[in-house]
Structure 1
Amino acid sequence: MRSQLREAYIRVPKLYDWVLTTSYARTPVTVPPKYRSLVHEAIKAGKRISVQCVTQNEPCSPATVACQVHSPIRRTTILHKGNPVPVGIVQLSFQTPLSLLFFADCDLLFDFMYPLELEDEIVLCVPEPLDQENVVCQIAAFECTAQTGYLFDDKIMLHVFVCQELLVEAKSVLEIMAQACKPRPNFLTAPPRLLPLHCTPFSPPPACPRLQVQT
């Protein structure tokens, strides 16, 4: 019996690498000069200073954290179990505006915006001719906490944790064996178009009234 299968082609995204990784950074932040006197007075009064670090819209919301892949990708070869493996070193940066809220014994003293930007590098499988356009970075989680141990130097320390998902993908054409859509003839004639029933013209617009001019 003759096979009904024929060659067919589909175009799908192919994953070359898929990594879930984390980045951690310690970032010192200086208190703006106009707020330092408030901090010093609260400390002299024996109040406990605490700082809350939140993103611009919602606390710890990953939706406001932007992940950017920079070019060019540095290509090198590393040894894995004694075998040389070509890899790409990808540079990433994370940007998000943070709101830093300063409290004295749970009373809000002041707050200000701080533009946070972090950089990181990660090794991925990015075979040529793929480049940074084929690397997709998505933020899975973001966390920021503030340490006030350096507050006497008018500084605090931010501890930032970012969990990102990285995908290296490109379009790929696959050849498969498939059956054509049958039974049907090669050509199908379209049925004649029928006018809708009860077709009536639109009502004509009312005539404009004549103006009577008195003489």
Structure 2
Amino acid sequence: MFDYQVVSEKNSLSRQGTEFTNECIRVNKVYDWVLLNTDEIKNIAIPAASLTVLQPLIDAGNVLRVVGKLTPADVTTKIVSIVRKTVIINEKEIEIGCAQILITANLTVEVYNNTTGSTIPVVTFPVTFQMLERVGLCFPQPFTSNNITTNVLSANAVALSDVPIDGNFIFEISICQDVYVETEVKLEVQGKFCEPRDNTLDCGTGSLSLACNKPTFPPQCPDIFPSS
């Protein structure tokens, strides 16, 4: 068993370095960031086995309800091509990249019988479909597709028909993603080291605490690097 020295007051160590100094840091710089919404009407083919179940229900006058289940986890994106071009913005030539994004979505279709009110779908089937989207991005040389990141934020599928139309259900698909261009850079900034605060919020943990030494960092060599 270890013996700890318990103190009744928290340490009041002074901050390490109170003056701002020139510091060189390594960070990812964002060159462009776009919120991209893709809306498309899709005809979703109904499998023959599901049609065999649904058609007799429709012929008997049952009212159906079609539900599409689609979440961000069901969607993947991939940059398939980038075409460089130069555009004029504010009388300046800007090099951009026209990126084509392939969206692949795995949709689950469920059909319920509203006439009976059953909460169990009469048919369920998965379907995979793809969409193409284009976006113009700030894209200086020598950037490649590795400098582009996509992140699906939301995905939704709304049925526009509750009965088959030429063997299809019609869905409105909406997928929102953010697309950003970034690369690692080294920046010289004015800054100073920060430190954690004391545990001063009362959450019923008691009045005693251990003596903790706040972390310190080795000093920079300002006469060597960075120099300005």
The CA distance in 2 between the partners of 1:96 and 1:66, in whole Å, is 7
Structure whose residues are more often strand by fraction: 1
> Could you tell me how far apart the structure 2 residues matched to 1:5 and 1:80 are?
37
1:124 and 1:178 map into 2 onto residues whose CA distance is 31
How high is the TM-score relative to the length of structure 1?
0.71
Shift of 1:151: 1.4
Matched with 2:83 is 74
Aligned to 1:199: none
Map of 1:130 onto structure 2: 143
Equivalent in the alignment of 1:90: 99
Question: Is 1:16 the equivalent of 2:31?
Answer: yes
Show the 5 A alignment for 1:145-156.
145-148=158-161, 151-156=164-169
> Which secondary structure state, in structure 2, belongs to the residue aligned with residue 47 of structure 1?
coil
Aligned to 2:156: 143
Q: Which moved more, 1:100-109 or 1:118-127?
A: 100-109
Going from structure 1 to structure 2, the CA distance change for 1:53 and 1:6 (only over 3 Å counts) comes to closer
Unpaired runs of 5+ residues, structure 1, are 56-60, 183-215
Q: State the distance in 2 between where 1:82 and 1:7 align.
A: 35
Query: 1:162 matched to which residue of 2?
Result: 175
RMSD: 2.7
> Of the candidates 50, 65, 77, which is equivalent to residue 65 of structure 2?
50
Residue pairs, 1:83-122, within 5 angstroms: 83-105=92-114, 106-107=117-118, 108-122=121-135
Distance 2:47 2:175 in 1: 26
Structure 1: distance between partners of 2:21 and 2:48: 75
**CA drift at 1:93:** 1.8
Residues 79 and 100, structure 2, Cα contact 8 Å, conserved in 1: yes
1:140–1:126: structure 2 CA closer, same or farther, 3 Å change rule?
Answer: same
Distance 1:78 1:45 in 2: 61
Tell me the CA shift for residue 94 of structure 1: 1.9
Q: Point out where structure 2 has 5 or more consecutive residues left out of the alignment.
A: 1-18, 193-217, 221-228
Partner SS state of residue 129, structure 1: coil
Query: Kindly tell me: are residues 17 and 100 of structure 1, through their superposed partners in 2, closer, same or farther at Cα, counting changes over 3 Å?
Result: same
Checking the alignment, whether the CA contact within 8 Å between 1:148 and 1:155 is kept in structure 2 is: no
- Whether the aligned pair in 2 keeps the contact of 1:67 and 1:93 (CA below 8 Å) is yes
SS at match of 1:142: strand
Cross-structure match for 1:36: 51
Tell me the secondary structure at the aligned position of residue 53 of structure 2: helix
Bigger Rg over Cα: 1
In structure 1, what is the Cα distance between the partners aligned to 2:156 and 2:88?
34
